[in-house]
Chains A and B, each alone.
Chain A
Amino acid sequence: MSETTESSVMPAADAEPSTRMNMIQAINSAMDVMMGRDPDVIVMGEDVGYFGGVFRATAGLQSKYGKTRVFDTPISECGIIGVAVGMGAYGLRPVPEIQFADYIYPALDQLVSEAARLRYRSAGEFTAPITVRSPFGGGIFGGQTHSQSPEGIFTHISGVKTVIPSTPYDAKGLLIAAIEDNDPTIFFEPKRIYNGPFDGHWDKPTQNWSQHPAGEVPTGYYKIELGKAKVVRPGEALTVLVYGTMVHVALAVMEEAGVDAEVIDLRTLVPLDIETIEASVKKTGRCMIVHEATRTSGFGAELSALVQERCFYHLEAPIERVTGFDTPYPHSLEWAYFPGPVRIGEALKKIMKDA
């Protein structure tokens, strides 16, 4: 079993200065820290320069590090990633932003055929040490082109890592680790929880990160190793595998239902922390998988297969997958689409039926 997390969960006690941050500020701080430490780190993307990004994630970086290290780009996602690959080949460490995950598709060829394959096809002569940041996920009335969760497309590609944080603390530590990593990494930022941990009750006011322990973030350097999940709630009754926004939704449902669930925030989808998953499911005998992305060929299918392959004889109920529906993300009916408390609650009843 891996020494999951607890050491890396909270800021170290040795009085590193820390402050309250929302997830955008934490992401901004990660880039700031890395640009300060490594002159090869550069930030690029649509509107990221003077303006500081449409979500303000790069605010202040251009005035601090200059236009040749933080710059706006033409509106060409294919160009952004292709140029990042070339800069990486030179020896830089680019952190390109794709304004919305829904706009990453024009860049697919550069990501799939190039960034992900460069190390392999050149036998390590060339690599693509790039970290592609992109806000993803719905729940903001963004309609079908500002709401998608395309992580499953990237986990299917050999050669890219996929990272999804669920708190400001994790976002900063994971982003620093991704930037330091020598392989291409897709870093999807759950924009629904940029400002606070959303519990799935869309018709009730949302908490701010200032009220959440993981909104306390060290101002300096620290990293959270990629490939390590985090047990956010230990329990015995069932294992819930989840990431991003859905971590908070699932946690709230488990608390409200009074079920002793073990909730695991995967944090990195590829490479996956299989040891933590396996140990947990073998302990609880039940496994629920929750993601906002569409169901068919979603990452939940992979998780379900892995759990079945490794924990079959420990399972006491069929694995439950709770996901978005296999439709485009609708505008007005987004809360009927979103895998919220009711959908998770129904799955919980099913999986706990014979417990």
Chain B
Amino acid sequence: MATDRVPDHLKPNLAPLSLYVPEPKFRPGDAVDFTQVPIPPAGKARRPDPADAADTFIDLAFDLVRVLDDEGQAVGPWNPRLSPDTLRAMLRSMALVRAFDERMFRAQRQGKTSFYMKCTGEEAVSVAAAHALDYEDMCFPSYRQQGLLIARGWSMVDMMNQIYSNTADRLQGKQLPIMYSVKEAGFFSISGNLTTQYPQAVGWAMASAAKGDTRIAATWCGDGSTAEGDFHSACTFASVYRAPVIFNVVNNQWAISSFSGFAGAESTTFAARAVGYGIAGLRVDGNDALAVYAATLWAAERARTNQGPTLIEHFTYRAEGHSTSDDPGQYRSAGEPTAWPLGDPIKRLKDHLIALGEWDEERHAAQDKELAEQVKAAQKQAETNGVLGHGLHQPLDTLFDGVFEEMPWHLREQQAQMIAEETASGRPWARKA
């Protein structure tokens, strides 16, 4: 029967099928030319009323909301008109994130811990969002949003204790470094399994709505992670229940060695995913802190007024390796990070403040120095609690804590067995006080 579908007289004219497999534009050794990447001018994208129906601004899912122009001016309807103090606070947080990353990356290289992940070039995405959200709003991050914690003023020493799995680690050495969990700062426990946080954020938001609360949820995942089924489940649930949630897709264009074309970016934008689900979608210059701030504030207003979810694609670039286990020189051109046309988010915000007459290069350099010292001091303090590379710091019997609320018989037995082993080994480890 199927053969009837193509009339016989047409068959000889059909070329054989061929399988399309995406390929990034540049590989190691290639000269980089990003002129093909469409970058609309700052200030051009329209700003709908946050109460507008999602299907009335579908164009914004294919546009690029930009506020900071090439001269460092904030322009157009999305300009959030922030006070110089707020701008300086954001700049400081972003610079602090970078200083923290530098230091912890080096600590891993020095053998002080097993793993680290930087967010270099993506600092605006999390820092500006943290400034636009209320402190009470709940964040469901991926592993690259350390900026949320830093911008929320969370203790760097506490973060480092986790990175070192040391005696003061709030997670008792149980988690891989950087997989923080800080309920007090509205920061959900990070999972190693990609995109699981997406439907969880929707559930939290649905619960908040069901309880008549005022708090909303926000979640983040990478471009590559949008391929996971959890992403799509989250969008469906959020759409159905109009959940007060903000979906952030951090499109840094790489997922380890796979460029964003393997997540569908050759065919459409990530913001366009929203259109199919009937939810609001915005595509934003992720290296423009003011655009990220404005989009987040706009989405938060929609969520807070029962207009439902918004998906924000943050168009950015992963300026460094995926993690300490990765060497990007093996799969992408070394010229990409510097050629990236949307620049460095820290420099762009700095230039804006300077253009406003509210900052200067000397103050910036002094601040960088001060922040480096601050991180160094935090590191010194954290290291008084030990570093992973110098042995095991967790009391041995904490291994069984937290599997269940109460320990069943079989775990109690195994715990006793472990203590007996420790004695038999002749190398006693620390015990819980």
Contacts and interface: CB of A to CB of B under 8 A. Distances in A.
B256 interface: yes
B388 A332 contact: yes
Contact of B262 (A72, A331, A343, A345): A72
A79 B174 CA distance: 30
Contacts, number: 146
A1 interface: no
A145 B257 contact: no
A336 B418 contact: yes
A47 B256 contact: yes
A290 to B, nearest CB: 14
Nearest to B27: A50
Contact of A76 (B228, B325, B388): B228
A75 B224 contact: yes
Interface string B223-258: 011011110000000000000000000000001111
A328 interface: yes
Given A67-B23, A68-B19, A143-B179, A345 B227 contact: no
A76 B255 CA distance: 12
Interface string A318-333: 0000000111101111
A331 B176 contact: yes
A312 interface: no
A72 B414 contact: no
Contacts of A51: 256-258, 330-331
Given A75-B224, A332-B173, A327 B403 contact: yes
Interface string A111-139: 00000000000000000000000000000
B89 to A, nearest CB: 33
Contact of A54 (B256, B388, B394, B429): B256
Which of A50, A71, A102, A343 counts the most chain B CB atoms within 10 A? Answer: A50
Contacts of B414: 295, 325-326
B421 interface: yes
B420 interface: yes
B227 A141 contact: no
B255 A325 contact: no
Contacts of A296: 410
A331 B411 contact: no
A72 B224 CA distance: 12
A105 B424 CA distance: 37
Interface string A285-307: 00000000001100000000000
A75 B114 CA distance: 24
B255 A75 contact: yes
B424 A342 contact: yes
A337 interface: yes
Given A50-B331, A103-B193, A326-B411, A335 B27 contact: no
Given A106-B228, A331-B174, A332-B388, A75 B263 contact: yes
A354 interface: no
A79 B227 contact: yes
A75 B19 contact: no
Interface string B256-271: 1110001110000000
Nearest to B429: A336
Interface string A31-74: 00000000000000011011100100000000000011001111
B37 interface: no
A143 B176 contact: yes
Interface in B372-413: 388, 392-394, 396, 398-400, 403, 410-411
B32 interface: no
Contacts of B333: none
Interface in B188-206: 191-194
A86 interface: no
A47 B192 contact: no
Interface range for B: 35 or more
Contacts of A103: 193-194
A211 interface: no
B425 interface: yes
A192 B263 CA distance: 31
A328 B173 CA distance: 12
Contact of B21 (A71, A106, A142): A71
A37 B192 CA distance: 38
Contact of B173 (A67, A74, A325, A330): A330
A102 B392 contact: no
A143 B192 contact: yes
A342 B421 contact: yes
A163 B302 CA distance: 52
A333 B114 contact: no
A78 interface: yes
A327 B414 CA distance: 10
Given A296-B410, A328-B174, A346 B424 contact: yes
Given A79-B227, A342-B425, A141 B410 contact: no
A74 B229 CA distance: 11
B26 to A, nearest CB: 12
B399 A145 contact: no
B316 interface: no
Given A46-B255, A146-B176, A332-B392, 20 more contacts: A54-B325, A68-B19, A72-B21, A72-B258, A74-B262, A75-B258, A75-B262, A76-B228, A105-B193, A142-B114, A145-B176, A145-B192, A326-B403, A331-B165, A331-B176, A332-B174, A332-B394, A335-B392, A336-B422, A336-B429
27 contacts: A46-B255, A51-B257, A67-B23, A68-B21, A74-B262, A74-B263, A76-B228, A78-B229, A142-B114, A143-B174, A144-B176, A145-B193, A327-B411, A330-B173, A330-B174, A330-B399, A331-B173, A332-B169, A332-B388, A333-B174, A333-B392, A333-B394, A333-B398, A336-B392, A336-B429, A342-B424, A343-B417
Interface of A: 46-47, 49-51, 54, 67-68, 71-79, 102-103, 105-106, 141-146, 295-296, 325-328, 330-333, 335-337, 342-343, 345-346
